[in-house]
Structure 1
Amino acid sequence: MARILIIEDNPANVELMAFLLTAYGHTPISAPDGARGIAEARAQRPDLVACDVNLPGMNGFAVLATLKAEPALAEVPVLAVTALAMAGDREKVLAAGFDGYISKPIEPESFVAELEAFLPGAGVPPPPAAAAHQARNTAVPVPPTQSAYPAVLLVDDDPFMLAVLADMLGDEPVRVLCANSGFDALALLEREPVEVILCDQAMPGMRGTEVLAQVAARMPTTVRLMLTGQQDMAEIEAALRSGVADAHYPKPVAAASLRERIRQAVALQRSRVAV
């Protein structure tokens, strides 16, 4: 798989792009501005660069010119990722020497495939199978023979993130339930207990630590995990110290890593029940 450098000053965009790339097995590298992007390109020698055009200080056109002028980097594909939408903007970007053009806001379902088209010899995978499901307070359908499998509840306010996470767990012997808010998660838990809950932190209405505190009080044997891109860790660290959360994992997460962590969490839950 490829190393892909994201040069982007919007942290939310970086988080989403990195999450998607990691989900498909690529290694994302990021830089918040042009100067640091060039430094990362020199140090990491990425297979592809996705560069915002309207960067602070050194804009994307200057970054492109610098990269293409260096023999060691001249052959690396550089794609413009930009919100420019006026007539002729695409042609201007391509005429400047960018190898391709991706519009903002990015389309999560096609973003990775769009980048992979510029990687020599790379195949284009289908979008996550679970993306077709509406990820609101529901379960990804499983065969009846799996009804006895442990239940894993995924809680995130981004439906596409839920679909990606559910797809990562598609081959695991678990039943995947999804909720896109803390309120929906708690309502679902009134109907069906779960062995593991994997929860985002920054959600409207109820933060992840609040959700896990209620789960800890109602269902103490449930293993309570956090998966977030949060920079401010104060609340999460307090939840870990108090036992409200059992573990915290940062986004993005690779599929193999997520599956292993869920297996460990299921084993921990079983040990709690056995005590």
Structure 2
Amino acid sequence: MSRRILVIEDNAMNLALMTYVLEAFGCTVLSAPDGLRGMAVIREARPDLVLCDIQMPLMDGYAVAREMKQDRATAAIPLIAVTASAMLGDRERMIEAGFDGYLSKPIDPATLMNDLAPFLERKNQAAGTAHTGAGAFRIPPQDGTQRTPASAALAPTHTILVVDDEPLNLSLKSSLLEPMGYRVITAAGMAQGLALARQHRPDLIISDVGLHPDAGGFDLIRQLKADPAVQHIAVVFITATHRNPVWEAEGLRLGARRFLYRPLDSDELLGEIQACLPHGGPENS
């Protein structure tokens, strides 16, 4: 079942980034631009987790934390502070107010879901229980170390080349695929993608349609299909902007296995990828 996460954030760009990342991993995102409206959503929707900015109009993050944790109906919901300035003494203030942890801005899309996983798991284990106070405070790792979910495969099974001109999209797809055991190679455009395809002979290429600045995804697949050395590689297009039956038909006509639209549930994407990969293990190159 999709996790419902409330993001309380008055900065539109920060809100858009967190929403994009969370939806890419299959979460249902609720949002509020200030603490006052955030509390209304918390009481009405009872989300599985709340990400809360500290400095906000009308009602700041500390006030949200105190009000949440004093209400038995909402006290068990994990509350994570999202702050750009964790100064000396801020941790103690967060504990006193009732926060269960904090994340530093800017958010790292590649580690966000792993950072939140312990809090979501604790919510499942402690459903219906009250907040346990300072002892429940947990700071997610901020040292840049790689975390791997318990369900991850132990060894790579296939190589996937991801081609996208947006660094955020490359990071999101890598953070989704690598913990599942795939070896992921990334390219920032058509020319680089074509060169890496010839060099590494991946089992699958996942490409955006509107690549910049050199050429688009359709140019990439035309070049691939014209080269006997790489024409066998399966191609999947994923796009958020080219939502047009004509574009989809053209992509499939050129030889793509799938033409998918973002936002895409992570389980659905993994299922489509598995369906397009060659059976019986990686290709020998």
**Conserved in 2, the CA contact under 8 Å of 1:153 and 1:179?**
yes
CA shift, 1:202, in A, is 8.2
Residue 207 (structure 2) pairs with residue 199 (structure 1): yes
- Verify the 8 A CA contact 2:53 2:81 in the aligned structure 1: yes
Contact 1:53 1:61 in 2 (8 A): yes
Q: 1:18 to 1:38 in 2, by over 3 A?
A: farther
Give the Cα–Cα distance (whole angstroms) in 2 for the partners of residues 153 and 195 of structure 1.
8
Question: Who is 1:166 aligned against?
Answer: 177
Distance 2:7 2:125 in 1: 21
Matched-pair contact (CA < 8 Å) for 2:48–2:120: no
Task: Report SS of the residue matched to 2:38.
Answer: helix
Q: How far apart are the structure 1 equivalents of 2:210 and 2:98?
A: 39
- How far is 1:179 from its partner? 1.4
Change (3 A) 1:177 1:116: closer
Name the structure 2 match of 1:249: 261
Paired residues for 1:63-142 under 5 Å: 63-68=64-69, 70-106=71-107, 108-109=110-111, 111-113=115-117, 115-116=119-120, 118-119=122-123, 121=125, 127-128=147-148, 142=156
Residue 250 to residue 55, structure 1, CA distance change in 2 (3 Å)? farther
Partner of 1:15: 20
Identity %: 29
For 2:217, the equivalent position in structure 1 comes to: 212
1:203-238, Cα deviation, whole Å (9 max, x unpaired): 7x548xx441212322357433216xx5xx2x4547
Q: Which residue pairs with 2:161 in the alignment? A: 153
Name the SS of the counterpart of 1:101 in structure 2. Answer: strand
Residues 1:247 and 1:68: Cα distance change in structure 2 (over 3 Å): same
Counterpart of 2:192 in 1: which secondary structure? helix
Alignment map for 1:33-44 (pairs within 5 Å): 33-34=33-34, 35-44=36-45
CA pair 218-120 structure 1, distance change in 2 beyond 3 A: closer
Question: Are the counterparts in 2 of residues 155 and 162 from structure 1 also a CA contact under 8 Å?
Answer: no
> How far apart, CA to CA, are the structure 2 residues paired with 1:114 and 1:99?
11
Count residues with an aligned counterpart: 231
For the residue of structure 2 that corresponds to 1:179, the secondary structure is strand
1:179 aligns with 2:198: no
Rate the CA distance shift 1:211–1:192 in 2: closer, same or farther, 3 A: farther
Stretches of structure 1 lacking an aligned partner (at least 5 in a row): 130-140, 268-275
Gaps of 5+ in 2: 127-139, 141-145, 150-154, 226-230, 279-285
TM-score (structure 2 length as normaliser): 0.61
Say what the alpha-carbon RMSD is for the aligned residues: 4.0
